[in-house]
Structure 1
Amino acid sequence: MDGTVAGASRPEIKLSVVAKKDSPLVAGRRKFFRYRDLGVSAATGGKLRAQVMEAITGMTEPTGWHTHQCEAQFVYVLKGWVDLEFEDGTRSHSEAGDAILIPGGMKHNEIATSDDVEILELSIPGDMATTPCDPPAGLAKG
């Protein structure tokens, strides 16, 4: 049996097994993070991206308000902590084991991280653009 439902075709996704020692560092959005590609974009034809963001140093200032052009961004804190604020007024202090799902286009601001933060980040689709934006009405520029 091939694991597909009878009559259904297998989606165009390839098996990908990537050892940490073989996962390449890739360019990323923030200079205080190192980004490791987990091979998911290539295996899914860009439908999904998975990477690990590791702190080079803790944040020295907030990222500023921004949005991502994607359907969704999923963040899972593996180590350390990250503080974020969102356009609806939600503020989160997320520690190892915590997860955040950010809808595409939602304004948010990364306020601070620990010096050792490590985050698993997924996005749908894999190509996720970042656009700076004005803070929501009533919230600080940060």
Structure 2
Amino acid sequence: MLGRTTTQFSHVKPGDTHFKTDGLRDFFLYCDLGIAEATHGKVIAHLVKANMAPEKGTGWHRHEADFQIVIMVKGWAKFMYEDKETLVSAGDCVHQRPGIRHYLFDYSPDMEYLEIVSPADFKSIDVAPVCDVPSPAPWK
């Protein structure tokens, strides 16, 4: 069974890969952890951290994905999941069910989270607003 796997072993250490600005959102930095390559696109895992203060947030959207979790490593972020405001703090794990409409609208300057999604080339689709969204707090 183990000899028939279609994925590869992967071991990424700090310094092997770096945070870059070429991700989904320009106000975040992204650090690829090598999982998409090792799984031939079945799964992506990357670290995401704040790069700029929130102004408009992500806007209402959903993902075309089979699986998605966010594990907050540092700081905090505030999301709207459908019509429910949710504070996600360091140590929290959120499973975003497929197709859930959401909006990340505020986060701390030290926010950093691990995101794991399948498939690796998931799509982000803008959707109509679900409800009003609170304004982000200005960074001091």
TM over 0.5: yes
SS at match of 2:15: helix
Matches within 5 A, 1:17-36: 17-26=11-20, 27-36=22-31
Question: Any residues of structure 2 matched to 1:82-121 within 5 Å, and which?
Answer: 82-87=77-82, 89-121=83-115
> Is the contact between residue 62 and residue 99 of structure 2 (CA under 8 Å) also seen in structure 1?
yes
Q: Cα distance, 1:61 vs. partner?
A: 2.2
Give how far 1:58 is off.
2.9
Report the Cα offset of residue 9 of structure 1: 5.3
RMSD value over aligned CA atoms?
1.7
Matched, 1:64 2:59: yes
- What is the CA-CA distance between 1:141 and the residue it aligns to? 6.0
Answering whether residue 41 of structure 2 is matched by residue 46 of structure 1, we say yes
TM-score, with length taken from structure 2? 0.87
Instruction: Give unmatched runs, 5+ long, in structure 2.
Output: 135-140
Runs of 4+ residues deviating >6 angstroms: none
Work out the CA distance in 2 between the residues paired with 1:25 and 1:62.
20
Q: Report how far residue 129 of structure 1 moved.
A: 1.0
Which structure: larger Rg?
1
Letter in 2 for 1:123: V
How far, CA to CA, are the matches of 2:4 and 2:19 in structure 1? 30
CA distance in 1, matches of 2:54, 2:77: 10
2:76 aligned with 1:81 = yes
Contact 2:80 2:133 in 1 (8 A): no
Q: Percent identity?
A: 32
TM-score, length-scaled by structure 1: 0.86
Count of matched residue pairs: 133
Displacement, 1:113? 0.4
Unaligned runs of 5+ in 1: none
Cross-structure match for 2:137: none
**CA positional deviation for 1:24:** 4.1
Q: Deviations over 1:91-115 (max 9, x none)?
A: 2101100011112221100110001
